[in-house]
């Protein structure tokens, strides 16, 4: 999106206005978007008279059907009781779809007495910030946050980290072993037929996760990196 922040206004002729809106928008954008970007889609949006344009870098924005105006930023719908951020919903939709594919039984869960919020955390037992996050797990539970761990060995599914994480996910005492691994404790190597780590790894890749920890809320809001419990609550409310 930063690559197109300079765009404010399209100047079009009367003959162009007569063209199909999607075709007109594509022609106008092709003149000004960076050469390394492609237009992936142009479709009618929920905003009347505006089309949603998605680029190859994942960014999207809205263009008036006449090709004269481009809108950058959040679009809100005024409902009966609240403002609905349509742009945020668009950004979150990919992560939300990924969450729907998760097998809940494949997660290592740490639950508070009363669950107020749920987060899904891609973790790596050899990641320093993952260890810092887990070392403060009690603070998240105190805020009513259920932590649902998915495995994401950053060095890949053929790595030593993968083997370590297999011990946790194949253990009868998953919480205890995962905690121990993050404290550099040693355990006997085990694996299992229903080991979900490769599946978790592919889920992470499907939404272009690159590092750990990566925290995803139930709404699909994604936070790449470590964040303290008190700060995290602000994004979950």
CA-based radius of gyration for the chain: 22
Residue with tokens 């508070």: 112
CA distance 232 to 124: 20
pLDDT reading at 11 higher than 60: no
At residue 84, does pLDDT exceed 60? Answer: yes
- Over range 59-64, report the average pLDDT: 82
Q: Quick check: helix, strand or coil at residue 236?
A: helix
Residue with tokens 């694996």: 191
Per-residue model confidence as pLDDT tens digits over 179-215: 999 999 999 999 999 999 999 999 999 888 888 999 9
Angle between helices 160-169 and 197-206 (to 10 degrees): 110
Distance, in Å, from the CA atom of 92 to the CA atom of 28, rounded to the nearest integer, reads 28
pLDDT mean over 93-112: 94
- Percentage of the chain exceeding pLDDT 70: 84
Global pTM value: 0.67
Task: Please report the pLDDT score of residue 217 as a whole number.
Answer: 93
Give the helix, strand, coil percentages of the chain, each rounded to 5.
35, 20, 45
What is the model's pLDDT at position 15? 39
Look at 9-18, 64-73, 102-111, 112-121 and tell me which has the smallest mean pLDDT: 9-18
Instruction: Set out the domains of the chain in order of their start, with CATH numbers.
Output: 2-81 (no CATH), 96-236 (3.40.30.10)
More confident position, 79 or 134: 134
Q: What is the pLDDT of residue 92?
A: 75
Backbone angles phi, psi at 44, to 5 degrees: -60, 140
Tell whether the torsion through CA atoms of 176, 180, 186 and 189 is positive or negative. positive
């Amino acid at each position: 999106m930063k690559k197109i922040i300079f765009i404010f206004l399209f100047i079009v002729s009367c003959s162009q206005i007569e063209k199909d809106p999607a075709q007109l928008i594509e022609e106008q954008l092709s003149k000004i978007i960076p050469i390394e970007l492609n237009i992936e889609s142009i479709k009618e949006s929920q905003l009347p008279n505006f089309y949603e344009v998605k680029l190859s870098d994942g960014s999207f924005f809205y263009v008036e059907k006449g090709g004269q105006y481009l809108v950058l930023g959040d679009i809100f719908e005024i409902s009966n009781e609240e403002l609905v951020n349509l742009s945020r919903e668009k950004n979150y939709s990919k992560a939300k779809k990924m969450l729907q594919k998760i097998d809940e039984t494949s997660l290592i869960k740490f639950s508070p007495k009363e669950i107020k919020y749920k987060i899904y955390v891609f973790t790596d037992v050899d990641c320093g910030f993952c260890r810092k996050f887990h070392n403060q797990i009690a603070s998240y539970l105190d805020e009513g946050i259920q932590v649902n761990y998915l495995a994401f060995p950053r060095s890949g599914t053929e790595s030593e980290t993968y083997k370590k994480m297999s011990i946790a996910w194949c253990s009868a005492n998953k919480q205890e072993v995962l905690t121990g691994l993050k404290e550099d404790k040693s355990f006997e190597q085990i694996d299992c037929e229903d080991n979900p780590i490769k599946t978790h790894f592919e889920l992470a890749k499907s939404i272009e996760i690159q590092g750990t920890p990566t925290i995803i809320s139930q709404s699909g809001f994604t936070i790449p990196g470590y964040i303290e419990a008190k700060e995290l609550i602000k994004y979950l409310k």
